[in-house]
Amino acid sequence: MRTVEWDYDRQLVKMIDQRKLPAIFEIVSFNNYLEVAMSIREMVVRGAPAIGAAAAFGMALAAKQSQAVTRTDFERDLAAAAEQLRATRPTAVNLAWALQRMLAVVTNKEIISLDDLRQAVLKESQRLADEDVEINLRMARHGAALIKDGDTILHHCNTGSLATVDWGTALGVIRMANEQGKKIHVLLDETRPLLQGARLSAWECEQYHIPYSLIVDNAAGHFMRTGQVDICFVGADRAAANGDIANKIGTYKVAVVAKENGIPFFPVVPTSTVDLSLPTGDAIPIEERDSAEVTELTLFGRAVASVGAKVRNPAFDVTPYKYVTGIVTEYGVVYPPYSINLRHAVETEQAKNLTPRR
């Protein structure tokens, strides 16, 4: 199944519970938007594109839940639902992007009846999910062209099917290269503190028969300095107009060491993840998560951290554009100057969506 999808028979949202992988593969269902908001906040679903799709389907649930009998009340209900969903996680711009797209349908005056509006919101959320898969496939083809037969690829966090509706961004590129028959090997950072590389990327590589080795985060520099990495691919939760990239904590360190060792570093970023309203990455909000994600880690059955340890737990960091070789988008690989070329890619996509759809 897809990571996030609408169940048309039961009229609810289904997701893979990513907290339980790789030990347990479990599908969970939600029938109201507050539950969807919880699923995003608690990382039942994660990854910027998947979060956007989940929020869109959450809006479809909100439209179904609304008891409004007037257009004004219906719009008020959906606006309130959007605010609840938007507040769940601040860094991934796909969340706000998806909600804005749903609200554009809600306020489309060409749709008259409330029943038609409810159907239109669901239709648009399904369209957004389907488009995500198609966009990922396009990025995969563009990115795979950068991979040579025999390459060893460094990957950070999880950017595969689990981070999107299906297929994936950076790991989708790697999957495409593997399916093209290229003999590749992937070094997967474990990606602390929630170990998305160890838990999720390794599991996905096994599903798709991609050769890999799991490495501790601090080993990445060693493998790059000793010539054992040919290219790096990562995802992004937000990109600023100048090409700065916000991604899972630890990405900045990977990019700096890659640059020092002459290794190409490519974020794989759909244009929906680019935020042209932010001139640089310094303006990207960085989510700080619960200290328990750090202090509850155990080793040999015992807690690693001292009792009462003070913790800082930023979920993301920002990689300045000067460390970015190129940005893989659905329109191809964008190279510097990003302030010009990235804007062009985004505005090309926006031009396709100017006309409200029913």
The residues spanned by each domain of the chain are 4-137, 146-351
- Neighbouring residues of 337: CB distance < 8 A, sequence distance ≥ 6: none
What does the pLDDT profile of the chain (358 residues) look like in tens digits?
799 999 999 999 999 999 999 999 999 999 999 999 999 999 999 999 999 999 999 999 999 999 999 999 999 999 999 999 999 998 888 999 999 999 999 999 888 899 999 999 999 999 999 999 999 999 999 999 999 999 999 999 999 999 999 999 999 999 999 999 999 999 999 999 999 999 999 999 999 999 999 999 999 999 999 999 999 999 999 999 999 999 999 999 999 999 999 999 999 999 999 999 999 999 999 999 999 999 998 989 998 999 999 999 999 999 999 999 999 999 999 999 999 999 999 988 766 655 445 4
Catalytic residue among 217, 237, 275, 317: 237
Structure tokens, 273: 């993840």
Give the CATH H-level superfamily of domain 146-351: Translation initiation factor eif-2b; domain 2 (3.40.50.10470)
Cis ω for the linkage preceding 356 (within 30 of 0) = no
237 is catalytic: yes
Residue type for position 338: Y
Helix extents (H) in the chain: 33-41, 48-65, 71-86, 93-106, 114-144, 170-179, 196, 202-207, 220-225, 251-260, 292-295, 338-351
Q: Are strands 238-240 and 152-155 parallel, antiparallel or unpaired?
A: unpaired
| Residue 205: closest CA among 172, 169, 166, 163 | 172
Query: One fold for both 4-137 and 146-351?
Result: no
Q: What architecture does CATH give domain 4-137?
A: Up-down Bundle (1.20)
| Residue 64: closest CA among 31, 86, 37, 36 | 31
